[in-house]
Structure formats: structure tokens, C-alpha cells
């Protein structure tokens, strides 16, 4: 049995999410169906972080155990030749040592893109979230800094979140404006269900002037989801990259250079 690791890119707008669901189109089901065809036997995958319906990935990391001899280019080219147009395998490599796509990860990086102009996009309807009301990205960025650190994010988790603990370590949050686009980038050791979308909803209310800059801090202290405002839509959300200890030989996204040294202690 050999373990291979794959980088997967997908447009989540046509899927019920990453995970297998009965009678639903999921990224996992499409990918496993194709990998099983290449292997000529069933293949099961495990990902770094399950994404919700409508959420995209620039580099989801997946591993699977296979007992057939295939060159890496066979998985890459063969897999992509069978995959639908909204999923692509972007790289394949041999797993090093005890690598596990989920449990070996130190941090995940997400990006949320908001088109902030009076008119919706004709081209990016399912790739960005549209907000016609002017957003103050500088104020949003200041508010976001209250979330950095190890906190109880109960006010920012979905009501049905199944995680046993609401504590997460947020390494950094950046909010900036590029023309008509406001971009939120957030990195944490892991995320609760809907955590990024709920944080985005709070920051958007602050950016519109509906709430004060310290509202995010107030919500952290409250630990009550019902006080936390609107959950932002899924379409502007992207899993950008996953950070692993250097011993696994995985490439690092440049944004991870901002990780504090204690988060990179395994490197």
C-alpha cells in the first residue's frame, strides 16, 4: 500500500460541498470516482479541510492509499481527463513518512473576496460575494485584529457545528481593498463550521458602519452565536493553501511567511 498526495483545485458552486452526501454532487464523490477508474479499484480520499456547498479551493490537499503501480503523471493526466471541468488535479506526489492530509496540517489559509460596487458582476456571480454598500476596508482590518490569538469562537460557529471545542488559534487576519474588491485573508490552525463566513459577516457590518469597530471583541466575549450577525454567502470563500511541517516536503504559500515562529516550531 502506497500513500499519494494530491493538490486539488475546484469551483465549488456546482457542488453540495467536499464530503460525500447521498444523492448529491460532491467534490469527494467526483474525485474518488475518477481515481478509482485510474486505479481500476476503489479509492478513498481524505482531505485537509472539508469545504461547504459553494465554497471553492485553490489548493485543497488530499491523500489516498493505493496498492497499484501508477506513475504520478498517470494520476495527474489520467485523472484530469476524466474529471468534470470544475475540478482539477494540479499536482501529485508521494507521501513522506506518516503524512496525513488533515492531521499533519499546522495551519489553513482562507480568502474571502467581496465585490464592492453598485453593480453585480456578469462574470463572477458564483466566485465573489457582491456588496453594493461601501465598505471601509481599513476599519474592517482594525476590527479583525481583535480575532488574532487563541480564543473561544462560539459566537462565530454554526449552530450545528460538531466540534467538541470552540477554541481556535487565529494566526493572522488581513483585510485590504484592491479597486472594487475587498479581500479578507485569514489563517488559523483549524476552523469551526462557518467560522470564516461568520467572521466575514461581522466584518462587513463593521465596514458598512452598522456596528462599532470593537464589535468583534464584544462577540468573542459573549460566546453566543445568536448575537453574531449574518453568515456571509459561500461563493466568495476560497481554501487557498494548507501549511505542513517541513519534514513532509510540501510547498509553502508565500502568505505563510507571516506565521509566528511558534506556529512553525515543527519546521
Residues recognised as catalytic: 52
Handedness of CA 75, 77, 83, 88 (dihedral sign): positive
Asked if residue 96 lies in contact with residue 247, where contact means CB atoms within 8 angstroms, the answer is yes
Give the integer Cα–Cα distance in Å for 110 and 20: 22
Residue 91, phi then psi, degrees to nearest 5? -165, 160
Crossing angle for the helix pair 137-144 and 195-207, nearest 10 degrees? 130
Q: Name which of 20, 46, 27 is nearest 84 in CA terms.
A: 27
Amino acid at each position: 500500500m502506497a500513500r499519494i498526495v494530491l493538490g486539488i483545485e475546484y469551483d465549488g458552486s456546482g457542488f453540495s460541498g467536499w464530503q460525500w452526501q447521498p444523492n448529491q454532487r460532491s467534490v469527494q464523490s467526483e474525485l474518488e470516482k475518477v481515481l478509482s477508474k485510474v486505479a481500476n479499484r476503489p479509492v478513498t480520499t481524505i482531505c485537509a479541510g472539508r469545504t461547504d456547498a459553494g465554497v471553492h479551493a485553490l489548493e485543497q490537499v488530499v491523500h489516498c492509499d493505493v496498492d497499484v503501480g501508477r506513475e504520478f503523471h498517470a494520476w495527474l493526466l489520467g485523472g484530469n481527463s476524466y474529471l468534470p471541468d470544475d475540478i482539477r488535479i494540479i499536482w501529485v506526489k508521494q507521501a513522506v513518512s506518516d503524512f496525513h492530509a488533515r492531521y499533519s496540517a499546522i495551519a489553513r489559509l482562507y480568502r474571502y473576496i467581496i465585490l464592492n460596487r453598485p453593480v453585480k458582476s456578469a462574470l463572477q456571480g458564483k466566485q465573489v460575494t457582491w456588496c453594493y454598500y461601501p465598505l471601509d476596508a481599513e476599519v474592517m482590518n482594525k476590527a479583525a485584529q481583535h480575532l488574532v490569538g487563541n480564543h473561544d469562537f462560539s459566537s462565530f460557529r454554526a449552530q450545528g457545528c460538531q466540534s467538541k471545542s470552540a477554541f481556535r488559534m487565529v494566526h493572522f487576519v488581513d483585510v485590504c481593498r484592491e479597486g472594487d474588491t475587498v479581500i479578507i485573508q485569514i489563517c488559523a490552525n483549524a476552523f469551526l463550521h462557518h467560522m470564516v463566513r461568520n467572521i466575514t459577516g461581522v466584518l462587513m457590518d463593521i465596514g458598512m458602519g452598522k456596528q462599532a469597530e470593537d464589535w468583534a471583541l464584544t462577540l468573542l466575549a459573549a460566546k453566543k452565536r445568536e448575537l453574531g450577525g449574518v453568515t456571509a454567502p459561500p461563493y466568495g470563500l476560497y481554501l487557498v493553501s494548507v501549511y505542513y511541517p517541513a519534514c513532509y516536503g510540501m510547498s509553502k504559500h508565500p502568505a505563510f511567511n507571516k506565521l509566528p515562529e511558534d506556529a512553525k516550531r515543527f519546521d
